[in-house]
Structure 1
C-alpha cells in the first residue's frame, strides 16, 4: 500500500472479500473456531435486538441467530454483505460505515463486535456510535487482536516487542494456508485507546478476558464486555 494513497478499511475488505469468504467458511481453518464457544459464553442471552457490527460474510450473525438472537448485521463491504444474505436469506443486513450507523438511538440491547475495532479507520467514532445505538443497560461484547500481537514478532522461539507500543500504526499481514491467501490489515492501538474510547462513549467495562486455548504462549485476542449504565 502506498503511503501517498492509503486505502480505507472498507476498500481493503472489499478487495479481500473473496479471499475472506473462502477463509472464514472453512470450519476449523482459523482461530474463530477455537475461540468461538468461549467467546459466546461472555455474550448475554438473546433479548430484544442484537447488532453484529462488522458482520462480514455473516458467520457470527449466523451463530448468534442459532442462539436465539434477533440479529441485524452491518458491514461496509457490499460483497461480504451479499454473501451474508445468501447464506442467511431471512436475516437483516445493512451496508454502512461503522462510525455512521443508519440506526436509531437505543435500538439495541446488545452489540457484538468480533475482531472489528482494530480494523476501523475511526475507532473513537465507531465506539461512540455503539454507545448511541445501545439502550440503557445494553451491553457491548467485543473481541480484538490483543494490542501486543501486532507490536511484536516471534524470534528464536520468543515473542519480541519490536515496535513502539503506544503509537497507532498500520499493520498488514499476508497469509497463505492450504491454497487460500488472505491479506489482513488494520490499525494497532494500545489498550488505553480502546478503554479511552469506551470511557468517552459512557460504557463501563464489566468483564475482560485474555483467552488461552490449548498451548497458546501469549494472548492472541482480548475480549471485553461493557455496559451502558
Structure 2
C-alpha cells in the first residue's frame, strides 16, 4: 500500500459535490448538534480544526464566536474552504506535525478525521501538545464497531450488520459516489490508550442518535453505533503556590 496516497486528492471533486454547503446526513442529523453543544458558551476563544476539509465546521465555529484555524493537506479542499470563507485561515499542514507553539489553542477539533490519519500516535500527541491547560480536544469519529463491519442482506431482503476482525487495526479502501478514500479501522481501546497516554482526561462521551432526516437512514443509524463524540480535557497546573 502506498501510504502517501490516501485517495483524497483524486476524490476532492466528488467530496465537494457530496458534502455541499451543509454536510451529509451524519453531520447534519447526528453529529453537528452534539458537537456544537460541547462548544457553545464554554468560554473558548480560539480553535484548531484538524483536517478542516472544505471549511464547514470552521465556519460553524466562527458563527459561535470562536476564532478558528483550519489545517487541511488536500489542496482542492483547502482552496474551496478559503473561497467559501475569504476571511478564514486555512493552512497546508498535517495533524502529525502541527505548525504551532505549545499551548496555542483553547479548543482542538477532530471532526471525522482520526480515521484518515496514518501516524495516529504522532497526531494525538500533537493535538495534546498545542492545547492550553484546561483546553478541550473534541472528537467525532466513526465508531470502531462500524469500521469493523458492513451491512449485508439476507435472501428474504432483510438487512443485517456483520462485524469481524475487530481487534485488527487496518487501513481499507472505501468507495461511494465519486469518492474512493483509505480509512483506518482501529479498536476503540487503541484510541483510548493513546489519548490517556497523552495526559488528557475524558470529560464527555456519547453515541448520539440521529435527529430528523430521511426515515430509512434514521432507522439504520438507530440499529448500530455509527459515530461517537468524545471530549478530552488537558489538565491545568494545579500545583499549590509557594511563598
Scaled by the length of structure 2, what TM-score is found?
A: 0.85
Q: 1:87 aligns with which of 84, 89, 97?
A: 84
Residue in structure 2 matched with residue 54 of structure 1 by the alignment = 51
1:198 offset after TM fit, Å? 0.5
Residue in structure 1 matched with residue 35 of structure 2 by the alignment = 39
Scaled by the length of structure 1, what TM-score is found?
A: 0.90
Do the aligned residues in 2 keep the contact of 1:106 with 1:132 (CA within 8 Å)?
yes
Structure 2: runs of 5 or more not aligned: 211-217, 236-243
Q: 1:218 aligns with which of 219, 224, 235?
A: 224
Residue in structure 1 matched with residue 14 of structure 2 by the alignment = 19
Q: 1:158 aligns with which of 141, 157, 160?
A: 160
Do the aligned residues in 1 keep the contact of 2:103 with 2:129 (CA within 8 Å)?
yes
Do the aligned residues in 2 keep the contact of 1:169 with 1:188 (CA within 8 Å)?
yes
1:109 offset after TM fit, Å? 0.7
Distance 2:43 2:88 in 1: 15
SS at match of 1:52: strand
Instruction: Choose 1 or 2 for highest CA Rg.
Output: 2
1:22 offset after TM fit, Å? 1.1
Do the aligned residues in 2 keep the contact of 1:105 with 1:132 (CA within 8 Å)?
yes
In structure 2, the CA distance between the partners of 1:144 and 1:161, relative to structure 1 (3 Å rule), is same
Q: What do the CA deviations read for 1:51-104 (whole angstroms, capped 9, x no partner)?
A: 011101101111111111100000111111111110000011111111101111
1:193 offset after TM fit, Å? 1.1
Distance 1:78 1:28 in 2: 19
Distance 2:48 2:108 in 1: 5
Structure 1: runs of 5 or more not aligned: none
CA RMSD, Structure 1 to Structure 2 (Å): 1.5
